Structure 1
Amino acid sequence: MTFVQIIDCKTGRFEDMNRLMDIWAEQTRGRRTATHAMVGRDRSDDAHYIEIIEFPSYEDAMRNSNLPETDRTFQEIVALCDEMPVFTDLDVVREDELNKAAARRFFEDVAGRGDLTAIDGLFAPGYRDHDIGKERDTTVGSDVLRRDVAAWRHAFAFDFQLDSQLAEGDEVATRWTWRGTHRGEFMGIPPTGRECAMTGVTVFRFQDGLIQEGWWNYDILRLLRQLDAVEM
């Protein structure tokens, strides 16, 4: 279970505190178990700071606390604070990564199951699509995406295996494996009945909860080789 530690402190020497945190990160490289750290400053009080540190589990957090560098850095940080920091330990019982969930829904429901009606709830009307498999680098509109999905599903019976997802800011990157059976015309190639596979990465950019832009990079050459459309 993911574990989060919240540290509430007041200090007029944040730059010194920031330097200590950088030193700790360097000294514990290869041994620290923290996966994510964030520091926020109170907009109504410039001396009030909240640090949020994420760990894979409570046990990992305890291993991190037992590092000698962690204890030494903590004592130095306390000396910079106006008062003793307040700690809150949390077991994460719910975590909603909404953009990642929306990206998964496209691959599983729209592309994988053919639910084209879900596109309007996932994509902005002016969605911009960048696809290495197209002659034009950029196409615009959720209707274009709807036609693309329909064309692929006409040409192949397929599904996606989502291998990993990474989210940063307003972008979600999904690494996937696609497997399909060629049952309809594809890029002028008549149906062959062949089993095909390829891998790729799609990056979606979100705004206001909708996918505004997408970049598709996938092994189209491998797919065409499997269909005997090209030779090495």
Structure 2
Amino acid sequence: MTFIQVIDCKTDRTDALNRVMDRWIEATQGRRTATHAIVGQDRADSTHLVEIVEFPSYEEAMRNSRLPETDRIFSEMVALCEGEPTFTDLDIMRDDQLNKLAVRRFFEEVINNRNLDAADELCTADYREHDPSLSSYDLTLAQAKSENREVIEAFEPVATIESLTAEGDMVCARVSFKSRHVGTYQGMEATGRDVSGTGHATFRCQGGKLAESWWNVDDLGMLQQIGAVDMP
């Protein structure tokens, strides 16, 4: 279970504190168990800082605290603060990464349920799609739906999200898919052959909807599997 540690302190020596944190990051490279750290400064009181550090689990956080560099850097941090920092340990009860949820819903409803019209709700009105396998690398939502309809009807794909990575308003999906060539695709009649492959898609989210996407799917592998392309 993800574990969060919140460190609350007061100091007017923020530059010096930043240098201390930089030294800890450098000194613990390859051994620290912390995966994400954020430092926030109180708008109402510039001397009030809050650091939020994320760990895979409480046990990993305890391993991190036992590193000699952690103890040494903490002593340096205390020397820069007004009084001793306070710690709050949090077990995560909920972690709603909303942009990831929007991407998962797109794959489930539009691709796996083959409901292209669901994209009207899931995407912004000015959505743009970039995919080298389509007629243009910059398609509107209506154009993307029209061109992707042929792919979905010809192969009836089922996509599995292998991993999702989110940063800011961007979400990157690593996917695998299984399908069967059951309809005409680019003039080639159905072969009934099973097709599988992998791909990546990156989405830009806006207001809980998908505003832009970039796709990279193994189209060559798909064409080989249905016999449209011969490879030496």
TM-score, length-scaled by structure 1: 0.96
Pairing 1:137-156 to 2, within 5 Å after superposition: 137-141=137-141, 143-156=142-155
The letter for the 2-side match of 1:102 is A
Q: Count the aligned residue pairs.
A: 231
Q: CA RMSD in A?
A: 1.2
User: 2 CA distance for matches of 1:121 and 1:70?
Assistant: 48
Pairing 1:1-232 to 2, within 5 Å after superposition: 1-141=1-141, 143-232=142-231
User: 1 CA distance for matches of 2:147 and 2:46?
Assistant: 51
Contact between 2:4 and 2:92, CA under 8 Å: does it hold in 1? Answer: yes
User: 1 CA distance for matches of 2:229 and 2:63?
Assistant: 54
User: 1 CA distance for matches of 2:178 and 2:143?
Assistant: 23
User: 2 CA distance for matches of 1:135 and 1:144?
Assistant: 9
- Cα shift at 1:117: 4.2
- Cα shift at 1:135: 2.6
Q: Secondary structure at the match of 1:229?
A: coil
Deviations 1:94-128 (A, max 9, x none): 00000011101111222101233432331001100
User: 2 CA distance for matches of 1:74 and 1:56?
Assistant: 21
User: 1 CA distance for matches of 2:124 and 2:9?
Assistant: 41
User: 2 CA distance for matches of 1:168 and 1:4?
Assistant: 18
Contact between 1:111 and 1:149, CA under 8 Å: does it hold in 2? Answer: no
User: 2 CA distance for matches of 1:107 and 1:15?
Assistant: 45
User: 2 CA distance for matches of 1:201 and 1:177?
Assistant: 9
Deviations 1:165-201 (A, max 9, x none): 1101110000101110000011111100000112110
Q: Secondary structure at the match of 1:189?
A: coil
Structure 1: which 5+ runs fail to align? none
Deviations 1:54-87 (A, max 9, x none): 0011000000001110011001000000121111
User: 2 CA distance for matches of 1:201 and 1:116?
Assistant: 19
User: 2 CA distance for matches of 1:203 and 1:94?
Assistant: 25
Contact between 1:182 and 1:192, CA under 8 Å: does it hold in 2? Answer: yes
Moved over 4 A (4+): none
Q: Secondary structure at the match of 1:44?
A: coil
- Cα shift at 1:209: 1.4
Deviations 1:130-179 (A, max 9, x none): 011113111012x3333344322210122001111110111000010111
User: 2 CA distance for matches of 1:230 and 1:135?
Assistant: 19
Contact between 1:182 and 1:194, CA under 8 Å: does it hold in 2? Answer: yes
TM-score, length-scaled by structure 2: 0.96
Task: State the percentage of identical aligned residues.
Answer: 49
User: 1 CA distance for matches of 2:192 and 2:218?
Assistant: 20
